[in-house]
Amino acid sequence: MPIREHDLREIRDAVAKLCASFPMDYWRETDRERRYPTEFVTALTRAGWLSCLIPEEYGGAGLKLAAAAAILEEIQKSGANGAACHAQMYTMGTVLRHCSEAQKKKYLPKIAKGELRLQAFGVTEPSAGTDTSAIRTTAVKKGGRYVVNGQKVWTSRAEHSDLMLLLARTAPREQAQKKTDGLSVFIVDMKAALNKGLSIRPIRTMINHATTEVFFENLEIPAENLVGEEGKGFRYVLDGMNAERILIGAECIGDARWFIAKATAYANERKVFGRPIGQNQGVQFPIARAYMATEAAALMVERAAQLYEQGKPCGPESNMAKQLAAEASWQAGDMCLQTHGGFGFAEEYDVERKFRETRLYQIAPISTNLVLCYLAEHVLHLPRSY
């Protein structure tokens, strides 16, 4: 049975209460200073929300993906930004399904307690982009260790994470039967590796996202940190990527609902020509359209989460969930800014910050065009376009 809204109400209420202790002033300040919201992430960790997917035997709550989605949705709906810590949830898609029992016992209890953070996912590279099979970072086995050389980009939270899931080539692409063969996943102890073959360079962006470039120069990783079988890593990260798309879809739903509530309240309060602007259909209709789009996208997010929890194939659904939710949040954000007029550009209304933040998900974790290409080829059986 899927987890329904009534089963999640207590979780939502508790998360909303925690978020309320971090007022909008806090988020304006962290955004203005481009500062990592350490206090917020610590509070979520101590409350156990970031370990919700970790099984109880390792110290977590053992909840389903739908619960994680509800947590992240509620964070965004409150006006906060869960991107500071959401990777600790979606990386579990790879960790729980493919790490060895020894690896789980070593890392998961400490992650659940907050002693370790698993917030970094090293996949994207400057020369590869969304063509994951074209990555050039290599991991060459030498005795009981792998030696890693290469570069990753858009590795968010690398400066604030203890561990990274790293995808690297362990066999040349030209020697592989399929271009996705020869890729392997590793757990990297980032604190131990820093300045010992690993270096991090922050990238300043239009949003406060703590994203970076990561460089590897003869970084040695113990062979025991290999996840699953060598050369099978692409399949492993897909489990993480599907979870990522679903959870980010839930975040977008939260953003959209924040925008809709914000716009509705303002349209009722703001008076021009002696009456509320919300009385005008030109203001009402965009809010109503954004609401419809959001509710429809929320159903797809729920459907994708159900399939994932059941262990069924969910590539099309997780991609559609992310895309429809991202489009709904962007539609709602644009509507909210338009509803506020000039005041929407003022920092004190928080609209401009959320507007910038939600725009990211038209591009990340996968661009609109690649979602459409995937559906065209794998669902509609049209000729491959790339």
In contact, 290 and 267? CB cutoff 8 Å: no
Structure tokens at 19: 């978020």
Chain centre to alpha carbon of residue 21? 23
Give CA angle at 157 (140, 196), nearest 5°: 40
State the SS3 of 297-355: HHHHHHHHHHHHHCCCCCHHHHHHHHHHHHHHHHHHHHHHHHHHHHHHHCHHHCHHHHH
Task: Judge residue 274's burial from the number of C-beta atoms within 10 Å of its C-beta, 0-12 exposed, 13-18 middle, 19 or more buried.
Answer: exposed
Residue 123's identity, in one-letter code, is: V
Question: By C-alpha distance, which of 171, 326, 179 is closest to 254?
Answer: 326
Q: Is 244 among the residues known to form the active site?
A: yes
Catalytic residue among 74, 125, 244, 352: 244
Question: By C-alpha distance, which of 2, 124, 149, 21 is closest to 64?
Answer: 2
Bond prior to 316 in cis (omega within 30° of 0): no
Strands 118-122 and 163-169: parallel
Please tell me the distance from the alpha carbon of residue 55 to that of residue 275, in angstroms, as a whole number: 55
List active site positions.
Answer: 244
